[in-house]
Structure 1
Amino acid sequence: MNVLIIEDEARSARELQAVITAVNPAVKIIGVLESVEQSLNWLASNPQPDLIFSDIQLADGLSFEIYESVRITCPIIFCTAFDEYLMNAFDTNAISYLLKPINEAKVQKAFLKLNTLLGTVKKEESDFRIERLLASLKKNYKTTLLVSHREKIIPVQVKDIAYVCLDTTLIRMGTFQNQQYFMTSSMDELEKMLDPELFFRANRQFLINRNAIGNVEKFFTRKLAVKLTVETPERILVSKTKAPEFLHWLEGL
């Protein structure tokens, strides 16, 4: 795999090269570029790489200028110290957004996503990732929750639950069919019961189903407002500190 690095800090570039080759020894670093101008010139005169690791703030501008000027056909993994560009990054070919400092665990996860997308995971490169996947599969998450409704006990399929929220002192469950149920379990208990691949703890009040999300909007002070496809008792907000984690989860990272 041919990898291009776009990074204007020499030390960061060296450290990134070391991490990439440690995680995936089959990688060949074909270039380290320091600026928007240098990157545009390189891409104009060389075949595109298989993968780009890219900083965002470069000495002569933002790397988004590169991707707006050149039609990039390969995936991009952004490596930056700033989280405010996360939404902009996914207007490009980004598959991951890694916050500095970059370490092997972060790069390993990015390569796992890349290989999953490409469907070309090689055994010798994925022993660690397969172990993590198998470990997650062994967790016993609930597929059905029992709720009391009008003196009856009703089984509700977890996949049918659009959201769970804290309503004063009770836990309200809303389904895709607009049914409402109340439970006595705590939000923390329910969070442990539900598969984190399907449900995200948006804030203290809400657990939301990935399949119920209609859209996400930028909100005041870099928060995110999440709109579900069903009505909710109140607006669902994700804090600016949790926003990167939420967007990573939403895209399937």
Structure 2
Amino acid sequence: MNVLIIEDEVKAAKELKKLLEQIRDDMQVTDILQSVEEAVEWFERHPHPGLIISDIQLADGLSFEFFSKVSVKAPVIFCTAFDEYAIRAFETNGIDYLLKPVEKDKLAQSLEKFDMMKRIFSGQQLQHLFTQIKPPFKTTLLAYFQDKIIPVRTAEVAFIYAANGLIGAYTASGRKYYVNGTLDELESSLDPHAFYRANRQFIISRDAVMNIEHSFARKLVVKVQPEAPESIVISKAKASDFLKWMEG
């Protein structure tokens, strides 16, 4: 069986490959990827592997960004140094969640769990199971305005902006509402075809984009309507992915 490793730390990736080879002689690492952008491009050119072992925090963002953009058919074992992403991992084809540094016996247990799921479910049934446990994308955000809780349709949201510990949802009409949660949580709950995580401060709607300007160091600056409180900058690492997203 082919196994894909997504890990931006070279040493960690090599150690993971070594552990896998020690545990299972029926699994071969077909490739090692280091970023969200690289993973998206890889899946456009290669058949899906039987299993994915992925870090969560990659060089250009969270691996959840990749899984929201590509329809992945393989189950995933997530590895990370932090336990704050556990719930999201199991909402994203995750069958197990390992804390770094990954221990040999823990990885072996995860692979046994994978084998058990394969015995119980066929390939199509397993994919259907993942589809069923994924939550639907939100169509409404609960916003707070003065002393009221107001439902705001996501279709009306132009962008979401994080600053000073607060999350503001700005509508196309120019209104600002404060919403609960983090940008990571909102990103995972919004339709990735309609919304894009621009950087650490902004999630933007495709419909709000007015124009895109080239900036220094091959970055992009996105102009939205209504005007954002500060410049929305797309990093060089995400620029190509963002333009592909804009094309639909």
Q: What TM-score, normalized by structure 1, do the two folds share?
A: 0.47
